[in-house]
Amino acid sequence: MTQIYETGAAIYVYLTLYHAGMERSELIEKYEAVEDAARDEVLKCGGCISHHHGVGKIRKKFMERTVSPNAIEWQGALKK
């Protein structure tokens, strides 16, 4: 746990994946597997997928579990 707030805690995990000869796509695949498992557990425990940094591209796939379809549609329309 890296920060504690009145409304909860923030957990930052810094992960380094390196293996000589491993392709970049393999590293990304392994990172996403760890990230997805961690985010899934956080959501199961009532947490959220972002802190003050926003969701970003990596966590985008979790949006449907955290906001309504109307909110996703509204965000898409706003971006257009």
Catalytic residues, by residue number, are: 12
Length of the chain as a residue count = 80
Strands (E), the chain: 3-5, 8-10
Q: Which residues partner with 26 through β-bridges?
A: none
| Token digits of residue 67 | 């906001």
